[in-house]
Chains A and B, each alone.
Chain A
Amino acid sequence: MSTRDTDWDGVRLHVVTGKGGTGKTTVAAALALALASGGRNVLLMEVEGRQGIAQLFDCPPLPYGERKVAVGPAIGPQQGGDVYALAVDPEAAFLEYLAMFYNLRHAGQALTRLGVVDFVTTLAPGLRDVLLTGKAAEAVRRRKGGKYLYDAVVMDAPPTGRIGRFLNVAAEVSGLAKVGPIRGHADTVQSVIRSPQTAVHFVTVLEEMPVQETLDGIAELRDEAHDGMQVGGIMINMMRPGVLSKTDLSAAKDGTLDEDELATGLKAAGIEESRSLAAELAADLAEDARAMDLHRRERQRLAAAGQPRYELPLVPDGMDLAGLYRLAEALRDQGAA
């Protein structure tokens, strides 16, 4: 379809993780929109039962079923593709699994009443994660008329602190099942996750803790236990453009800004009390310069990870569909999709 090269050509499962508060769900949704340009169909799925997608797209809570929530941007004459959304619920996924592989649809209800489903999806080691990642793997491989149904699947995954474990499905169930059907299922899921078809993207903001968690998460995915998993891009969210020139920035940081110059400028703009105002605004600038300095340091730390980075602007006044399209465009412009 799209002939444009992107950084993640060939990737069909995009796993999006990030520390709480960094906008992981928003970025996952924007990435789904970006991928849905040029007539490509995309599935956006969430796995934590938060109904974050429904809130973002301002629609009623998603049932356990794939539902169209948006249309990707049109590129020239090409219409945008469809974005479908799915909130995966481990219990429903387990019942679906029973029905699909064991023809146990009716038994499912009885099992739910007895608490077996709750047991299996919450307690059996790693099974919950197998069911959630299994649903993603199934969607990635689903075909219709000889073609893949979805050109890409975007998963709003658990936070960075849990991502390594979440994706390491085979190790998780090894305590549970060394042989048998669950093991087989886990192995299939694993073959999708540990392949060039899957990339794990990290969402962060330029603050110390989220950056540290991003670096820790990347290091974890690169260790032996996660062999074959592909670290994707680093999405730097909520970026604010700087207002000062380089010279003024360093002066502001050192507290040597020329307040006279500032006051003259304010006066020229017709602002009264320009002297007292200049002092206050200089304090603002100094604070901002320190923040920018911190951003620069955190950016350098992220650069050292050696992964492609994408910068997403802060969308003031809350996130809505227009904001999502803006972020999607930024992702496309930078080659993320």
Chain B
Amino acid sequence: MTGRQDGGGLGPLAAGRYRWLDVDRLADDPRTRIIVCCGSGGVGKTTIAAAVGLRAAERGRHVVVLTVDPARRLAQSMGLTTLDNTPRPVAGTQTSAGGSLHAMMLDMKRTFDEIVEAHSDPDRATQILANPFYQSLSSSFAGTQEYMAMEKLGQLRRAEEWDLIVVDTPPSRSALDFLDAPQRLGRFLDGRLIRILTGPAKLGGRAYLRVLNTGFSLVTGVLTKVLGAQVLRDVQTFVTALDTMFGGFRERADDTYRLLQTPGTAFLVIAAPEPDALREASYFVERLSRDRMPLAGLIVNRVHRARATRLSAARSLAAAEMLQNGSAPGGSAGPGSGRYQLAEAALRLHAERMQLAIRERRLAEHFIAAHPAVPIAEVPARPEDVHDLDGLREIGVSLAGADDPA
């Protein structure tokens, strides 16, 4: 499918040289089981994820939206008031097409606690949950949130209660963290240091014994010196207690990674029409293709459209200047007289909007030139944030291209 012709709007996608991303076709397709919305912070991932989920549900699918950190009013509009890891039905969803919508907010610590509880006996679980290192790992380790989001995604997928899961990825420092984090955490928990700290008892061969013993005393020496003896004891208790679960962690992270690579998964990269966000989107697109992750397309969110595109920015600005200086024919008024103040204001605003629209289009064209095969959809900027299902529906309509003026 090729891009549609330029209608009244002058969005970044008016160029007509891109492939159009058909969000409805993607979300309606029963083979699509997971949609992952990713992108850098502040581009509106959560809102897009919710809008995609609502639209798919109202078109007949059984959808659950997994969100990580929604704005308060958006969360309220979906009936989410607590972080409780429980999918709840979203009141107000139209079910006439036979679909349904649930939403849940991720409680990362609880998700982690549940893994621990599922994999160890009650005494050991209690011991782990009380350990300060575990508490740090489960609440503030860079990567735990991403890891737990993916863990939850795997759980929801296995539950087979929904036929479409829409995930809003955690607000990462960079969009790429989200792909790396689960593996990094898995690697970390399964790593060499952890093996050393769990003590020389488990060593396989003699040759390693000496090396690892040296390593062990060096590590413990430094940790004692820098952190103190109590800390070292906590570390050892922690790793010993978690020991039984290590293999499992790595495996779980790998499983999740594979789940993301299956054809039933579709990645939507979200960006705002700004240099940083689009640069991040470019990296992400490249990374997804390198990792053979199924990319569905790019959504450019908050695009500014200008009306009356037949009047160019330069012409509009010149006309405004003319009115201001009173040099318009029959306009003897002179500067500041305010005779054509309204027209002058309208022309200045028009010039500003045209310039903004053109700048955004140029940025999008750079992206298109670098990634001509990536389908694109756009969502226009709104004056206010979305607070209710109606707002989400409107975004869904824009996403599907149903509001295109052409």
- Nearest CB on A from B5, distance (A): 19
Asked whether any CB of chain B lies closer than 8 Å to the CB of A269, the reply is yes
Contact, CB under 8 Å: B228 / A268: no
Asked whether any CB of chain B lies closer than 8 Å to the CB of A313, the reply is no
Contact, CB under 8 Å: A20 / B141: no
Q: Which of B22-30, B96-104, B215-223, B258-266 contacts A (4 or more CB under 8 A)?
A: B215-223
Contact, CB under 8 Å: A270 / B329: yes
Contact, CB under 8 Å: B346 / A284: yes
Q: Which of B39-47, B198-206, B246-254 contacts A (4 or more CB under 8 A)?
A: B39-47
Asked whether any CB of chain A lies closer than 8 Å to the CB of B196, the reply is yes
- Nearest CB on A from B6, distance (A): 15
Contact, CB under 8 Å: A266 / B319: yes
Asked whether any CB of chain A lies closer than 8 Å to the CB of B150, the reply is no
Asked whether any CB of chain A lies closer than 8 Å to the CB of B125, the reply is no
Chain B contact residue count (CB 8 A cutoff): 75
- Nearest CB on B from A22, distance (A): 7
CB neighbours (8 Å) of B231 from chain A are 124, 176-177, 180, 182
Contact, CB under 8 Å: A49 / B192: no
Asked whether any CB of chain A lies closer than 8 Å to the CB of B109, the reply is no
CB neighbours (8 Å) of B344 from chain A are 265
Given contacts A114-B193, A265-B343, contact A177 B308 (CB under 8 A): no
Contact, CB under 8 Å: A265 / B340: yes
CB neighbours (8 Å) of A318 from chain B are 275
Question: CA–CA, A124 to B133, complex, Å?
Answer: 6
Contact, CB under 8 Å: B343 / A262: yes
Question: CA–CA, A48 to B345, complex, Å?
Answer: 42
Asked whether any CB of chain A lies closer than 8 Å to the CB of B348, the reply is yes
| Minimum CB distance partner of B333 in chain A | A268
CB neighbours (8 Å) of B137 from chain A are 123
Contact, CB under 8 Å: A102 / B328: no
Contact, CB under 8 Å: A270 / B343: no
Asked whether any CB of chain A lies closer than 8 Å to the CB of B311, the reply is yes
- Nearest CB on B from A117, distance (A): 10
Asked whether any CB of chain A lies closer than 8 Å to the CB of B322, the reply is yes
Asked whether any CB of chain B lies closer than 8 Å to the CB of A294, the reply is yes
- How would residues 260 to 295 of chain B score, 1 for a CB under 8 Å from any chain A CB and 0 otherwise? 000000000000101101000000000000000000
Question: CA–CA, A175 to B275, complex, Å?
Answer: 41
Asked whether any CB of chain B lies closer than 8 Å to the CB of A104, the reply is yes
- Nearest CB on A from B176, distance (A): 11
B206-248 contacts to A, CB under 8 A, are 215, 218-219, 222-223, 225-228, 230-231, 234
Q: Which of A81-89, A192-200, A205-213, A229-237 contacts B (4 or more CB under 8 A)?
A: A205-213
| Minimum CB distance partner of A244 in chain B | B345
- Nearest CB on B from A252, distance (A): 9
CB neighbours (8 Å) of A257 from chain B are 342
Interface centre among B43, B225, B338 (most CB of A within 10 A): B225
Q: Which of A5-13, A275-283, A322-330 contacts B (4 or more CB under 8 A)?
A: A275-283
- Which of A111, A126, A159, A208 has a CB less than 8 Å from the CB of B219? A111
Asked whether any CB of chain A lies closer than 8 Å to the CB of B349, the reply is yes
| Minimum CB distance partner of A210 in chain B | B42
- Which of B223, B230, B350 has a CB less than 8 Å from the CB of A284? B350
Asked whether any CB of chain A lies closer than 8 Å to the CB of B341, the reply is yes
- How would residues 4 to 37 of chain A score, 1 for a CB under 8 Å from any chain B CB and 0 otherwise? 0000000000000001111000000000000000
Asked whether any CB of chain B lies closer than 8 Å to the CB of A308, the reply is no
CB neighbours (8 Å) of A291 from chain B are 383
Contact, CB under 8 Å: B385 / A177: no
Asked whether any CB of chain A lies closer than 8 Å to the CB of B191, the reply is yes
Summarize B's interface: helix, strand, loop or mixed.
Answer: helix
Contact, CB under 8 Å: B308 / A176: no
Asked whether any CB of chain B lies closer than 8 Å to the CB of A239, the reply is no
Given contacts A179-B228, A268-B330, contact A282 B222 (CB under 8 A): no
Chain A contact residue count (CB 8 A cutoff): 73
| Minimum CB distance partner of A261 in chain B | B342
| Minimum CB distance partner of A319 in chain B | B275
Question: CA–CA, A183 to B231, complex, Å?
Answer: 11
Contact, CB under 8 Å: B328 / A269: yes
Asked whether any CB of chain A lies closer than 8 Å to the CB of B123, the reply is no
- Which of A21, A48, A123, A285 has a CB less than 8 Å from the CB of B42? A21
- Nearest CB on A from B301, distance (A): 11
Interface centre among A118, A181, A243, A318 (most CB of B within 10 A): A243
- How would residues 82 to 94 of chain B score, 1 for a CB under 8 Å from any chain A CB and 0 otherwise? 0000000000000
- Which of B141, B196, B339, B349 has a CB less than 8 Å from the CB of A243? B349
CB neighbours (8 Å) of A176 from chain B are 132, 136, 227, 231, 234
Contact, CB under 8 Å: A126 / B136: yes
Asked whether any CB of chain A lies closer than 8 Å to the CB of B7, the reply is no
Question: CA–CA, A122 to B274, complex, Å?
Answer: 31
CB neighbours (8 Å) of A268 from chain B are 323, 328-331, 340, 343
B119-149 contacts to A, CB under 8 A, are 132-133, 135-137, 140-143
CB neighbours (8 Å) of A283 from chain B are 307
CB neighbours (8 Å) of B330 from chain A are 268
CB neighbours (8 Å) of B188 from chain A are 115, 118-119, 122-123
Contact, CB under 8 Å: B42 / A20: yes
What would be 10 A-B contacts, judged by CB atoms less than 8 Å apart? A20-B42, A111-B219, A114-B215, A128-B142, A159-B41, A176-B136, A176-B231, A270-B319, A271-B315, A288-B349
Query: What residues of chain A have their CB less than 8 Å away from a CB belonging to chain B?
Result: 19-22, 48-50, 98, 102, 104, 107, 110-111, 114-116, 118-120, 122-126, 128, 159, 161, 165, 175-183, 207-209, 212, 240, 243-245, 248, 257-258, 261-262, 264-266, 268-271, 277-278, 280-285, 287-288, 290-291, 294, 316-318
Q: 4 new A-B pairs (CB below 8 Å) besides A270-B328, A270-B329?
A: A107-B218, A111-B218, A119-B188, A257-B342
Those 3 A-B pairs whose CB atoms lie nearest each other, nearest first: A265-B343, A21-B42, A20-B41
Query: What residues of chain B have their CB less than 8 Å away from a CB belonging to chain A?
Result: 40-43, 69, 71-73, 132-133, 135-137, 140-143, 171, 173-174, 188, 191-193, 196, 215, 218-219, 222-223, 225-228, 230-231, 234, 272, 274-275, 277, 306-308, 311, 315, 319-320, 322-323, 328-331, 338-350, 352-353, 355-356, 359, 383-385
